[in-house]
Chains A and B, each alone.
Chain A
Amino acid sequence: MALEDRNEAWRDELRKSISGKERTSTPRVKMNELDAKIRARSYDEVNQGLTEEQARKEATRCMDCPNPTCMEGCPVGINIPGFIKNIERGEYVEAAKVLRQTSALPAVCGRVCPQEKQCESQCFYKLKLKKEPVAIGYLERFAADFERNSGKMEAPQTAPKNGIKVAAVGSGPAGLSFAGDMAKLGYEVTVFEALHEIGGVLKYGIPGFRLPNEIVDVEIDNLKKMGVKFEKNTIVGKTIGTKDLEAAGFKGLFVASGAGLPRFMNIKGENLIGIMSSNEYLTRVNLMRANTKESDTPVLRGKNVAVIGGGNTAMDSVRTALRLGAERAMLVYRRSEEEMPARLEEVHHAKEEGVEFMTLHNPIEYIGDEKGRVTTMRLQKMQLGEPDASGRRSPIAIEGGIIDVPVDVVIVSIGVSPNPIVPNSVAGLEVSAKGTIVVNDKLQSSIPTLFAGGDIVRGGATVILAMGDGRKAAAEMHKYLSGN
Chain B
Amino acid sequence: MYKIVDKEFFSENVVKLEVEAPLIAKARKPGNFVIVRVGENGERIPLTIASADEKKGTITLVAQRVGVSSTKLTDLNVGDELTDLVGPLGKPTDIEKYGTVVCAGGGVGVAPLLPIVEGMKKAGNKVIVVLAARNKDLIILEKQMRELADEVIIMTDDGSAGKKGLVTNGIEEVILREKVDLCVTIGPAIMMKFVSLLTKKYNLPTIASLNTIMVDGTGMCGACRVTVGGKTKFVCVDGPEFDAHQVDFDEMMMRLGAYKELEKEDLYKIGK
Contacts and interface: CB of A to CB of B under 8 A. Distances in A.
A280 B254 contact: no
Given A239-B24, A262-B222, A372-B255, A294 B41 contact: yes
B8 to A, nearest CB: 25
A276 B223 contact: yes
Interface in B222-271: 222-223, 225-227, 232, 234, 237, 251, 254-255, 257-259, 262-263, 266, 269
A279 B216 CA distance: 10
A232 B84 CA distance: 9
B interface SS class: mixed
A420 B251 CA distance: 25
Interface residues of A, number: 44
Contacts of A240: 23, 27
Interface residues of B, number: 43
Contacts of A280: 215, 221-223
B232 A266 contact: yes
Contacts of B121: none
A233 B27 CA distance: 14
B232 A271 contact: yes
A204 B23 CA distance: 25
B220 A264 contact: no
A289 B37 CA distance: 14
B234, B258, B262: most-surrounded residue (chain A CB, <10 A): B258
Nearest to A201: B220
A280 B224 CA distance: 10
A196 to B, nearest CB: 4
Interface in A253-296: 259-262, 264, 266, 270-271, 273-274, 276-277, 279-280, 283-284, 288-289, 292, 294-296
B84 A296 contact: no
B84 A260 contact: no
Contacts of B68: 296
B43 interface: yes
Contact of A261 (B43, B85, B237): B237
Interface string B5-27: 00000000000000000011001
Contacts of A289: 41
B89 A262 contact: no
A403 interface: no
A416 B225 CA distance: 15
Contacts of A298: 259, 262-263, 266
Given A196-B37, A276-B223, A296 B216 contact: no
Interface string B31-70: 0000001010111100000000000000000000000110
A371 B256 CA distance: 11
A241 B221 CA distance: 23
A375 to B, nearest CB: 14
A408 to B, nearest CB: 12
Nearest to A418: B219
B41 A283 contact: no
B84, B218, B255: most-surrounded residue (chain A CB, <10 A): B218
A277 B214 CA distance: 12
A233 B86 contact: yes
B9 to A, nearest CB: 23
B115 interface: no
B39, B89, B222, B269: most-surrounded residue (chain A CB, <10 A): B222
A204, A273, A298, A416: most-surrounded residue (chain B CB, <10 A): A298
A297 B35 CA distance: 14
Contacts of B227: 271
B87 A239 contact: yes
B84 A264 contact: no
A453 B218 CA distance: 19
A interface SS class: loop
Contacts of B86: 194-196, 233-235, 239
B88 interface: yes
B262 A196 contact: no
A362 interface: no
Contact of B258 (A238, A273, A283): A273
B251 A271 contact: yes
A421 interface: yes
B175 to A, nearest CB: 32
B136 interface: no
A190 interface: no
Contacts of B216: 194-195, 204, 283
A271 B225 contact: yes
B220 A259 contact: yes
A419 interface: yes
A262 B43 contact: no
Contacts of B3: none
Contacts of A234: 23, 86
B83 interface: yes
Contacts of B134: none
B223 A296 contact: no
A238 B254 CA distance: 30
Contacts of A239: 23-24, 27, 86-88
16 contacts: A195-B216, A204-B220, A233-B85, A262-B221, A264-B232, A270-B232, A271-B255, A273-B255, A280-B215, A288-B215, A294-B41, A295-B43, A296-B269, A297-B44, A371-B254, A371-B257
Interface of B: 23-24, 27, 37, 39, 41-44, 68-69, 72, 83-89, 215-216, 218-223, 225-227, 232, 234, 237, 251, 254-255, 257-259, 262-263, 266, 269
Given A239-B87, A372-B251, 8 more contacts: A196-B84, A235-B86, A240-B23, A240-B27, A241-B27, A261-B234, A276-B221, A283-B221
Top 3 nearest A-B pairs (CB, nearest first) are A372-B254, A280-B221, A298-B262
